[in-house]
Amino acid sequence: MVNRLFKLRPPVDDRQMSSLDSDIANLYQKSLQHTTNTYTGTGIPGVIVTVGFNAEKIEVYRLFQKNQFSSSVTSLAGEVVTTLIGMGGISFVSGVGYVNNAIIAIGVDSFTLGTHPGVNAYGVTYLYYAVG
């Protein structure tokens, strides 16, 4: 096998990218902050979840608890809901595709929930991961 030296270039230089691919590529080229926390869904649209910094990507996971008598979390359950700043209130749900009314906005230090059950069902605990 002959070793060859080559220069790696970002994919932006090599091919045409969708705006979502481009946003993801730009996001991971920055020096980033990130945080993880939980919240409980209300089922009411417009609930604001404070992150504490200007997030550019939010992922939300539904938490699964062992049983009704235990508050210890054993695993994540259901779909992963992802949105990026600039997506105009559209989120991507794993196994489903693009949806409206999940994470409807990303603010300066927070994000706003719609009524999609993947992010805001009444009484359900969710874990979010924010990057910015």
**Is 101 contained in some domain?**
yes
Range of the domain at 107: 32-131
The pLDDT-based confidence of 75 (bands split at 50, 70, 90) is low
Rounded CA separation 98/51 (Å): 23
**Is 11 contained in some domain?**
no
pLDDT tens digits for range 22-43: 666 666 666 678 889 999 999 9
pLDDT tens digits for range 90-113: 888 878 888 888 999 888 899 999
**Is 15 contained in some domain?**
no
Q: Is the pLDDT of residue 74 over 60?
A: no
Q: Is the pLDDT of residue 17 over 60?
A: no
43 three-state secondary structure: coil
**Is 58 contained in some domain?**
yes
